[in-house]
Amino acid sequence: MCDYTQVHYKCSHLRYTVRAWCTKYQETHKRCPANVVAIEYRLDENCGLSYANSIPHLLLG
């Protein structure tokens, strides 16, 4: 299984970031179930999704 960090944001969203790809993924590029090995709290910042939604002109591109 690939190792992930679970990240908590001020806006209450969660994200999972990869810490390390497992050998199976490196060979096949098919994702396996996430293995959460760490939890990180970024309670002083919103995730990018909340930031983009709060500023409409960023969504128009």
CA dist list (Å): 17 to 35, 50, 57: 11, 17, 27
- The whole-number pLDDT of residue 1 equals 85
Mean pLDDT across the stretch 24-34? 89
The rounded distance, in Å, linking the Cα atoms of 48 and 10 is 11
**Can you read off the two tokens belonging to residue 9?**
């944001």
pTM over 0.85: no
With cut-offs at 50, 70 and 90, classify the pLDDT of residue 61: very low
pLDDT for 54 equals 54
3-11 average pLDDT score: 93
**Rounded mean pLDDT of 4-22?**
91
**H/E run at residue 7:** strand 2-9
Q: Are 3 and 37 in contact (CB under 8 A)?
A: yes
Checking if the pLDDT of 6 tops 90, the result is: yes
Q: What is the number of structural domains in the chain? A: 1
Please give the residue range of the domain that contains residue 50.
Answer: 2-60
